[in-house]
Amino acid sequence: MTDLKTRGLVIVGCGKMGSAMLKGWLANGLAPSSVTVIAPRPSAWLQSVEGLRLNAMPDTPPAMVMLGVKPQIMPDVMPDVARFAGGQTLFLTVAAGLPIAFYEAALGARTPLVRAMPNTPSAIGRGITAIVGNGAADEADLDLCERLLGAVGQVVRLEGESQMNAVAAVSGSGPAYVFHLIETLAAAGEAEGLPADMALKLAKATVGGAGALAEESDMLPSELRVQVTSKGGTTAEALKVLMDAQTGFAPLLKRAVRANINRSEELAK
């Protein structure tokens, strides 16, 4: 991150996720004096970081500009950062939904840009982010973005931007599906006589623990499932319902992911 230390980093929009990233970068040795944050309403934490530059764009091109504002606000901020277009500054965007073509229209195709799709667990350092660069972004640019985004979780590289809608449907929106699973599992337990608070505690711990086990184990999720399922037992009986070819999890989630992608394609028109 030598170039960031010498030429600086500008963060435009620094909410929960941006702050989580910044905390990781500062912990890894990036000096606050190398960072400029543009945020109309900076958090108390941002204001407390000694040496951090707030709401004052640098006069010279920084090493990187990270765009973290909401997609609907992005058109308003592009004129403010377009002064750094042309190739000296790498742009990293973590805004959902906006294609590379949107940024190139404002910054030019010669400006290196990396588009990233993080998810909400990034706010606690347990996220996963997919990245893809435009034609002007080289391997060093992608390496830098991967190192930076690694501060909030895992990072994967896409073969092309055409995969981004699928990523958004699986990992970007995926936490909402999991939260709904927790919600409905707790409701099912409550319907069978458990106190509401106990049912919710059991559901949250079960989903969280199973997810951690799946990540840390060398076994496939299907193998872990078989380990928990005794032949002819209660789990097997429940899985008959959940794995039904017509009404079970698999066809339901396929339809949900496809609906997500269809909507992304509609919004991009």
pLDDT digits (tens, 9 = 90+) for 216-259: 999 999 999 999 999 999 999 999 999 999 999 999 999 999 99
Indicate whether 154 and 244 sit together in one domain: no
**Rounded average pLDDT over 108-118:** 96
Indicate whether 156 and 191 sit together in one domain: no
Q: Domain boundary residue among 163, 191, 214?
A: 163
Asked whether residue 34 carries a pLDDT value surpassing 90, the answer given is: yes
Indicate whether 153 and 80 sit together in one domain: yes
Write down the mean pLDDT value for the chain. 94
Indicate whether 157 and 177 sit together in one domain: no
Indicate whether 141 and 84 sit together in one domain: yes
Range of 253's domain?
A: 173-268
Name the pTM for this structure: 0.91
Q: Which residue ranges make up the annotated binding site for NADPH?
A: 55
Q: Which residue ranges make up the annotated binding site?
A: 55
Q: Domain boundary residue among 163, 185, 205?
A: 163
Amino acid, res. 259: A
Indicate whether 137 and 242 sit together in one domain: no
CATH code of 183's domain: 1.10.3730.10
Indicate whether 5 and 101 sit together in one domain: yes
Indicate whether 31 and 113 sit together in one domain: yes
Which pLDDT score, from 0 to 100, does residue 1 have?
59
Amino acid, res. 161: E
Which pLDDT score, from 0 to 100, does residue 2 have?
61
Q: How far apart are CA 206 and CA 214, in angstroms?
A: 12
Indicate whether 50 and 157 sit together in one domain: yes
Indicate whether 136 and 181 sit together in one domain: no
